[in-house]
């Protein structure tokens, strides 16, 4: 849910040079400085504010517009969760990237922030030396800020302002495949035996909407890979079950795949399905990341194609990058079906955009229409 204010004043357009304006909010002066320096390494980013609490962030945003705010959770005076709705009330198109350390409490708060309108989150290292010297953190931070900033600027160029979701092109460095038209293919003719779902940026919000709409309409086993770190995936499974009433769990190695249950790939582990007599099982591994991701959607989809073949149904939801593109090829080659979320309702139209522009989809639909489409496809009604 994005909190909006009908009295919100207009926010100035982006700088003429097209740079992504970013404000960093963290109570540690040292951490703020390190994050600012990491972001300034990218020439497309301009830092327009660096403040130590949520109240200062709200006050500064009213005077100095930004496309993206990197928002810490635990701060004096006003914490991040309190500041979030006030920032979004000031500018309802603002992209807020929550930054939190990997604790159960902060994972829970981050999930709540995503439901309240934050666009994404980033796990913040606990030690300053890991922020200053960690290439992985810097790469992920810059990539997410640029991707979200490009989304905001692209939305402004189109002159659209959806209330609950925003759009973007692919993540930095993604192939130019997104520039072409969407060519749909006929869905597979076999009745699906599994539903595999891949998502990333904006995924937690989209998943709750999708599974709520799908409840009681299918009884397939669901395999879900959402780009998330450890701790967060366990919290995600709990939120899916509590919010949507779908049985959901973080997968364990050797777990039997069960109909009607959402099996969530755990953070930092790839999840594959393996054929076994008496029931398919899940296998977890820590092999090299793919697309800079572990878990990776491509890893899951390749195994789904091997085990389920033509009886595979895949949904690719909002997310930056191209994870899911390579894995969707063996799905359709085996006779399975792939559908994707559309651009207008995606926080980031990278992953779904890549499979859509790659000619791999049988449908590209708004988020609210995906559940009904999956329900029809699960019965073979659209074949």
Which of 323, 346, 362, 378 is labelled catalytic? 323
Q: Could you please report the per-residue DSSP string of 301-370? A: HHHHHHHHGGGEEEEE-SBSS-TTHHHHHHHHHTT-EEEEE-STT-S-BSHHHHHHHTT--SEEE-HHHH
For residue 295, say if its preceding peptide bond is cis, omega within 30 degrees of 0: yes
Residue 157 makes CB contacts below 8 A (sequence gap 6+) with: none
Helices 367-378 and 203-214, interaxial angle, to 10°? 50
β-bridge mates for residue 222, sequence order = 195, 262
Number of Cβ within 10 Å of residue 313's Cβ equals 28
Cβ–Cβ under 8 Å, residues 20 and 156: no
Which of 50, 200, 312, 362 is labelled catalytic? 200
Helices 104-115 and 203-214, interaxial angle, to 10°? 70
28 is annotated as an active-site residue: no
- Residues 148-163: b if buried by 16+ CB within 10 A, e if exposed: bbbbbbbbeeeeeeee
Cβ-in-10-Å burial (0-12, 13-18, 19+) of 16 comes to exposed
Which of 227, 239, 263, 270 is labelled catalytic? 227
329 is annotated as an active-site residue: no
312 is annotated as an active-site residue: no
The candidate with the shortest Cα–Cα distance to 186, out of 370, 357, 301, 337, is 337
Tokens 């890991």 map to which residue? Answer: 130
Q: Say which DSSP state 45 is in.
A: E
Q: Give the residue numbers marked as catalytic.
A: 200, 227, 323
């Amino acid at each position: 849910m994005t909190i909006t204010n009908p009295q919100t004043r207009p926010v100035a357009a982006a700088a003429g040079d097209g740079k992504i304006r970013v404000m960093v909010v963290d109570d540690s002066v040292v951490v703020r400085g390190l994050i600012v320096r990491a972001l300034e390494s990218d020439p497309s980013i301009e830092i327009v504010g660096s403040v130590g609490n949520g109240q200062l962030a709200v006050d500064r945003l009213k005077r100095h517009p930004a496309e993206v705010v990197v928002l810490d959770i635990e701060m004096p005076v006003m914490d991040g969760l309190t500041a979030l709705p006030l920032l979004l009330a000031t500018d309802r198109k603002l992209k807020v990237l929550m930054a939190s350390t990997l604790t159960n409490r902060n994972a829970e708060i981050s999930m709540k922030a995503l439901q309240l309108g934050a666009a994404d989150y980033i796990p913040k290292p606990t030690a300053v030396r890991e922020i200053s010297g960690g290439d992985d953190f810097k790469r992920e931070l810059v990539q997410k800020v640029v991707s979200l900033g490009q989304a905001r600027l692209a939305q402004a160029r189109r002159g659209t302002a959806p209330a609950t979701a925003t759009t973007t092109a692919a993540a930095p460095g993604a192939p130019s495949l997104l520039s072409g038209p969407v060519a749909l293919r006929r869905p597979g003719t076999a009745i699906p035996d599994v539903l595999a779902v891949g998502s990333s940026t904006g995924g937690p919000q989209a998943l709750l909407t999708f599974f709520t709409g799908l409840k009681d309409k299918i009884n397939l086993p669901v395999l879900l890979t959402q780009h998330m770190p450890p701790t967060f995936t366990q919290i995600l499974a709990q939120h899916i079950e509590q919010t949507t009433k779908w049985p959901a769990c973080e997968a364990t190695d050797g777990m039997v795949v069960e109909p009607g249950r959402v099996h969530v790939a755990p953070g930092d582990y790839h999840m594959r399905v393996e054929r076994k007599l008496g029931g398919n099982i899940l296998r977890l591994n820590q092999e090299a990341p793919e697309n800079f991701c572990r878990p990776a959607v491509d890893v899951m989809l390749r195994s789904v194609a091997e085990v389920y073949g033509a009886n595979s149904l895949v949904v690719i939801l909002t997310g930056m990058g191209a994870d899911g593109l390579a894995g969707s090829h063996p799905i359709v080659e085996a006779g399975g079906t792939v559908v994707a979320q559309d651009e207008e309702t995606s926080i980031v139209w990278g992953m779904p955009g890549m499979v859509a522009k790659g000619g791999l989809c049988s449908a590209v639909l708004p988020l609210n229409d995906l559940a009904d489409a999956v329900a029809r496809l699960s019965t073979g009604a659209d074949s």
